[in-house]
Amino acid sequence: MARRRPTMNRVSALIVSLVLLLGGCGGTLPPEIHLTVTVTAAGFSPTQLEVRRGDQVVITFQNRDQVGHTLTLELPTGRRAVAAEPKVDAILNFPANEPGSLRFFCAVPGHTEEGQLVIRP
């Protein structure tokens, strides 16, 4: 037996549900803040980042070096990290929940790149 195609009523109901769902979320999403950290043989740039508590932080990690690096962030809840091969970009995102000063660094053995991310109250 052939499967019935959804009727127009069903499709309409689905669209209405999606609109309600998206509309309902719109007011509650935290603001996104987009930052870029570039790594070269000279280290991270910039080495100082600042966001506000409640921001949803999205960091584009650009590796412009000839070797792989990580962007590793020490959050109170643990480490959050991305690795990027040479000439590749990676994305690190996290919610800035607690004010404070967090260290970020490269976790590749022997590497010393580091910086500081401040979460303002």
What residues numbered 28-57 form the site for Cu ion, per CB under 5 A?
A: none
Q: Does 69 bind Cu ion (CB under 5 A)?
A: yes
What span, in angstroms and rounded, lies between the C-alpha atoms of 96 and 31?
A: 11
Choice between 33 and 108, CB closer to Cu ion = 108
Q: Does 64 bind Cu ion (CB under 5 A)?
A: no
Q: Does 111 bind Cu ion (CB under 5 A)?
A: yes
Task: Kindly indicate which of the ranges 51-59, 73-81, 83-91, 109-117 contains the residues binding Cu ion, using the contact rule CB under 5 A.
Answer: 109-117
User: What is the contact surface with Cu ion in residues (CB under 5 A)?
Assistant: 69, 106, 108, 111, 113
